[in-house]
Amino acid sequence: MFLALTSASRSPGVSTTALALAMNSPTDRTLLVEADAIGSSPVLAGYMLGNHYHDRSLINLVDANRHGRLKAALTEQLIQIPESSVSLLPGLVHSAQADAMRPVWGPLGVHLAGLSVDDTNVIVDAGRIGQRGAPVELIVNATTIAIVTRTERTAIAALRASQNALRQQLSAVQSRASLGLILIGESPYNAEEVTKVTGLDVIAVLPDSDDAKVFSDGLSISKWRRRRSIYLYTLHRSTWPRITKFAVSHQADWKSGPALNAALPTLTGERR
């Protein structure tokens, strides 16, 4: 499985969700790639509490790709996340490096797709749709692209405004990636309502819970709280099966797929 996570608006929890899914991956080998063009490493700074120097990075793949050493260099840049089977490829050190990555995104995407066929779950934190330097050439190689969003009206409006650009990019290269949503909570609008106004099916719903700070901030919680956490239970028991099922049932068919600019209803009415 090659899963790319992206967003249409700020701070919906893409990086947190990417790490949470990686740490609950059902496979023995999982690779998490921080490909947000904005730079930094949420995992190193947050989950790992800044205890690992940010010397390994995507940016170190640029020269290697130029000299045909991308595969070997990727392995050299990986960090093992403690007490897990997850390998991390840390993100750019700063946003000014994003332009240098343009020749790398495509070959890296092809290589990651190959790894995903070989019993490795690959998860990419791709940042926001449409931002400068976004890794579009990488994510078109994914099995599934999940747009992470909350369900406030402003978040859904941003999603509606940006999704056509992503659809057009996928269509242009005839990407077979399935495209859907991962919702963070169902308030004020639920999955059915969000699908109705976006035209995108919901892959999974994660509770909007403070327990997500386990992954975003490295929060330590008690065994008692872990056992009773609906958020952690959902991650561990139901989210990956839903992702796998969605990938099979929603492969893109650009010849007979829905019109890119089809009119969609809008969210109306007050919700609290």
Return the domain boundaries, the chain: 2-249
Confidence band of 261 (pLDDT split at 50, 70, 90): very low
Chain center to CA of 242: 15
pLDDT at 94: 94
Element of type H or E holding 204: strand 202-206
Region of 251 please: left (phi>0), alpha (psi -120 to 50) or beta. beta
Instruction: In the chain, count H helices and then E strands.
Output: 12, 8
pLDDT at 252: 84
| pLDDT-wise least confident of 79-93, 231-245, 246-260 | 246-260
pLDDT at 270: 61
Chain center to CA of 144: 9
Q: Full-prediction pTM beyond 0.85?
A: yes
Instruction: Write down the CATH superfamily of domain 2-249.
Output: P-loop containing nucleotide triphosphate hydrolases (3.40.50.300)
Q: Is 214 helix (H, G, I), strand (E, B) or coil?
A: helix
Higher pLDDT pick, 252 / 148? 148
Confidence band of 258 (pLDDT split at 50, 70, 90): very low
174-210 tens-digit pLDDT: 999 999 999 999 999 999 999 999 999 999 999 999 9
Residue 268 pLDDT > 90, yes or no?
no
CA 147 to CA 163: how far, in whole Å?
A: 9
98-150 tens-digit pLDDT: 999 999 999 999 999 999 998 899 999 999 998 999 999 999 999 999 999 99
pLDDT at 9: 85
